């Protein structure tokens, strides 16, 4: 018999994916801020690896924000919907 995952479990999966993307992009954001702060010419240089990391973190934050909004919407719609 095939079981269907509950909506909350699927939402938890998406939140975990978003959190992993943020964690993957965080070192690159730190590198971008460090490079900007330590540059004596105060010129911002663009590196492809840093841009990809910032993009990953942005996608992760977007997924997390969408998940939290969906969870909040379900919580206000019906308190029983969270437990289903």
Residue whose entry in the numeric block shows the structure tokens 């909040």: 72
Whether the predicted model's global pTM rises above the 0.75 cut: no
Give the pLDDT confidence score for residue 41 in this predicted structure: 63
pLDDT for 27: 85
Residue 28, CA distances (Å) to 12, 21, 36, 50 in order: 25, 12, 12, 5
- Is the model more confident about 75 or about 5? 75
- Structure tokens of 16? 């975990």
Residue 1's pLDDT band (cuts 50, 70, 90): very low
Tell me the per-residue pLDDT of 29-55, one tens digit each, with 9 for 90 and over: 787 777 766 666 655 566 777 788 888
Query: Is 57:25 a contact under the CB 8 Å cutoff?
Result: yes
Higher confidence at residue 67 or residue 38? 67
User: Token pair for residue 24?
Assistant: 């993957």
């Amino acid at each position: 018999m095939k079981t269907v995952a509950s909506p909350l479990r699927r939402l938890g999966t998406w939140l975990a994916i978003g959190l992993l993307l943020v964690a993957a992009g965080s070192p690159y954001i730190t590198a971008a801020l460090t490079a900007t702060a330590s540059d004596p010419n105060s010129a911002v240089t663009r590196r492809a690896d840093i841009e990809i990391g910032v993009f990953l973190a942005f996608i992760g934050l977007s997924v997390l924000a969408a998940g939290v909004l969906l969870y909040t919407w379900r919580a206000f719609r019906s308190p029983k919907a969270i437990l289903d």
